[in-house]
Amino acid sequence: MTTKQKPLKQDLREVREYHTPSFGLFFKTKKFLYSQTSPYQKIEVIENEDYGRVLLLDGLVQTTERDEFFYHEMLAHPACVSHPAPQNLLIIGGGDGGALKEVLRYPVKQVSLVEIDAQVIEVSKEFFPWLRPSLEDKRTKLVVADGNEFIQNREEKFDVILIDSSDPVGPSTCLHQSDFYKKVRRCLNPKGVVAAQAGSLLYHLEHIREKNDFLKKIFKVVRFYMSPVPTYPGGNWCYVFLSDEIDPLVSIVRKPPSGLKYYNLDIHRAAFALPNFLLVIGDVPPGATLLR
């Protein structure tokens, strides 16, 4: 497949992502670089003066050159510094290669990246050249497949599994459900670790509550953590660390790689300190639900 196409008309000067009917995020576009609809979603790449190149799927920001490191570093490194020796890793989703770039900083043997939409991979290679080396690394095994189906009857076991899914709509809906996480657990080696994105603290609290309820029935260790992601809804993002044997607040077995922009071990410890409205009964914001 080629991502080459005729230049797009430059009559659209803004891209808007609505988080509610009355609030959202907008980018003034310096250039429209790409816009096509794959069998799964609309894929767009724009260029903005502040955030550089921006990848959007169905109109929602997936990654930007300026702030991608917040999300990708926080999805990948808490799991990798907590596992004693991650060698065989699996990433479900994340066809842009951002999380892949982070785990390849470690001396791993193989990383299987399972992405349902091949066009996302090709677009990322072309328009985000700093991601291309990871997608073409000899340790990377690219698999174009549905992540849920990929692990359905998988005999292969993994040390670390990252769930870099989109929000729970469309083809990603199944990646946020209990049955999926039961399959994920079966694919873990002893001392295996899972890290998954869990959504916005401001807008997705009901989904976080539901995940907390069913994940505690599947894994012995369930710890939510968070980080800023400026271009994601609400600006603060939630993740969840899962394991049967490893507690990320106890088992930190290695220093993170050099050259990171956000993550360090102080950030690691602080990220698991959750705000009061997720911890105690009290003055709870509208729509918030307790995790403990």
* Residues forming the active site: 164
Q: Hey, what are 192's tokens?
A: 């295996």
Q: How would you label 4-13 residue by residue, b for 16+ Cβ within 10 Å and e otherwise?
A: eeeeeeeeee
Tokens of 91: 């990433």
Q: How far apart are CA 174 and CA 172, in angstroms?
A: 6
Rg value, the chain, Cα: 18
Instruction: Provide CB contacts within 8 A for 128, sequence distance 6+.
Output: 53, 55, 63, 65, 96, 97
Residue 189 CA: distances (Å) to CA of 102, 159, 165, 243: 21, 5, 22, 10
Identify each DSSP E strand in 83-153 by its residue range.
88-93, 110-115, 140-144
Please say whether the beta carbons of 239 and 205 come within 8 A.
no
Distance of CA 256 to CAs 66, 239, 259, 260, 270, Å? 21, 18, 9, 8, 15
**What CA–CA distances, in Å, run from 173 to 10, 98, 197?**
34, 21, 13
Dist CA 242 CA 221 (whole Å): 6
Contact 96, 119 (CB under 8 A): no
Separation in Å, CA 88 to CA 148, 172, 176: 19, 24, 23
